[in-house]
Structures are given as structure tokens and as C-alpha cells.
Amino acid sequence: MKILYGVQGTGNGHIARTRALLPYLRRTDVEIDFVFSGRKKENYFDMDEFGEYKVFTGLTFVTENGSLKPFRTVKQNNFLELIKNIRSLDLKTYDLVISDFEPITAWAAKIKGCPSISLSHQSAFFYDVPKVGGNFISKLIMRIFSPGDYKLGFHYHHFNQPVLPPLIRKVRPAEHSNDKIVVYMGFESIEEIIELLKPFKEIQFEIFANTKFQQKLHNITINPISVEKFHHELKYCKGVIANAGFELSSECLMYGKKMLLKPLTGQYEQLCNLKALKKLNKATIMTSLDKQVIKSWLEQPEGKPIAFPDTAEYVANWIIDPKRCSVEELSRKVWSQIS
């Protein structure tokens, strides 16, 4: 089997999910080519495992100071180039297209009749899972952004719907945590984050940001983004302050880390994530960079790890099975592994 795998590069959650699935796919007799879109090639990092991959401009979101800018997003995206890339993508040699919310590969497969799977957290929103009201345009975009013959959606809980547990690397939680707090808020100004954390001099903060060199400011360490370093700190930390992306919050649930989350203002998916986490009583929410909320959150106890099943192995086996069961049956099978 030869697969073309498209990955949305805006943020790092889609790439993290692909990293979790890739080792299981490579155990089988498949050949995989990768396409990434949503950011410039020089802004990707730790990409050796994907081999010789292609990068397209694709579609991305414009943000500023922790808020989504819808009109600038529409203005800055080149839709003519998007259509050109979709038409030019040659799928003749591929047996299957997988898209993790990547529009070029997904629409090329739809238009050219190649079998396809839409695999993403966003696919869960086709079902009756916790969602915020309003945001008609965001809902419409989510429905048409990445079509597929099959839709595999991932969520924190099944909510009695045919969705799957988070597709994350299966890692054993640490037996003991240190007193550090991991901070990853890619949509916020680093200067604002430092100012926010300065008053808590007794706490060691490990910030991960778009910087080339590590910097130390008393109790605050600013780290370049690195998959290995980040996951080491995440495993052993006491808690996490972050935006409300799905993949990181899922990893926090697996590790049992308490979370303080600030959504990207106006971003539908993150607002829905917070609604689900609030329903499950698994996160503290702040709508702005608030020192008082942080102070109260720091005093909260740690959480308990959730033993999610190894979703990646189930999904990989399902993908390569020529007689795939229904998504509903796959969902029941995977969730049956967790109490």
C-alpha cells in the first residue's frame, strides 16, 4: 500500500498526532509520502522521521496577542494558489490519502476519486460532542476544510458518540513530579508571559517558545521548541499553563498534570475543548492573562493520570485492513480498553 499523508502545520498538534501514528504504520508493508501545509518550511523542526516531505502554503490562521483575526486570515490566504496546488497534486501512484486537517491532499483526493481518510480532532465535531454556540463561519469551515470518505475524530471522552480516544504517544506517567510548571502559549507575546510569571519567584517555570537559544531569567527558563526536551519536562512537571489545543491537553490528561488553559480568543476548536474539559472537570480556565487566577491555580492539587488505550495501534491496523470495520465498531473496540 502506498499512502499520501497530509498534515496541517498550523500549530504542532497535528504533527504530534502524526508522530504517534507513524511508528505503527511503518511496522507494516506501506510506503508513505508526506505533505505539510500551513507554515513556511524553515519554521518546522525535528522533522527527520518524515523523510523527504513536500511543503505547500495551504491555509493558515492569522493571530495577534492571543486572538484570532478572521478578516486578516481571509485576506492573507492565497486561495488561487490553494486551488492550483490541489489540481497539480498527482495521486495516480497512491492507494490511499490520509489528511490530518490538511486541505490540499483532502480536496485533491475528493476531486480525483482517490480513497481517503480524514483523521483529526476536528472530525469529532461532526458528532454530538460538547460544542459552543454561534461561530457559524467556523463551523462551516470545519465541515468543508478537510473532506474524506471516512472521518476519524478524536476526543477526551466518547460522549456516547463514535469518536476515538486521543491519538497520542503511549507513555507511562512519572511516579513523582518535580515542582516545575511548563508554559507553552504560542499565541501570546513572550514579553507578556514573562511579566505574568515574574511575581511567582518561588516557582520554576519552563517556557517553550519560538526562540533559537535558551535563556534564564532567575526562576524562568525560556527554551527553544524541541520535541524531546518538551516531553521530558512535560512528563515530570507539576502542572501546565497553555492555550487550549487538543493534543497537549490530551497528553496532560494522560500524565495526570493539572492544567491552566487560556483559549485563543475566537478560535472555535479551542473554545469547544474548554467546554468539554469543564464538563469533565479536568482543567482551570482563564480568559485573559490573570495573575490572580494563576495564584489560585498553583495552590490546587495535582491530577490523576488517565490510562488511555494505545489508539495509534488500533488506528494503524484499521487503516491497512482491506476490510475495515465501521467507525462505530472501531470506536466501541478502542473505548472498551478503558474504564
Q: Which residues contact 312 (CB under 8 A, 6 or more apart)?
A: 20, 21, 23, 24, 167, 168, 169, 170
3-class SS string, 125-145 = HHCCCCCCCCCHHHHHHHHHC
- Quick one: fold of 2-169+309-335? Rossmann fold (3.40.50)
Q: Is the dihedral of CA 275, 195, 70, 124 positive or negative?
A: negative
pLDDT score of 209:
92
Query: 2-169+309-335 with 180-298: one CATH topology?
Result: yes
Strand order of the β-sheet with 239-242 is 215-217, 220-224, 204-209, 180-184, 239-242, 258-261, 284-285
- Quick one: fold of 180-298? Rossmann fold (3.40.50)
Residue 41 has which C-alpha cell? 518550511
Kindly state the helix (H) or strand (E) to which residue 284 belongs, with its residue range. Answer: strand 284-285
Maximum CA pair distance of the chain?
A: 59
Q: CA triplet 122, 123, 124: central angle to 5 degrees? A: 90
Residue 38 has which C-alpha cell? 500551513
Query: Average pLDDT of each block of 10 consecutive residues along the chain (339 residues)?
Result: 94 91 91 92 89 84 54 61 90 96 95 96 94 76 86 97 96 88 92 94 95 92 93 96 96 96 88 96 94 96 93 96 95 91
Domain regions of the chain by residue span: 2-169+309-335, 180-298
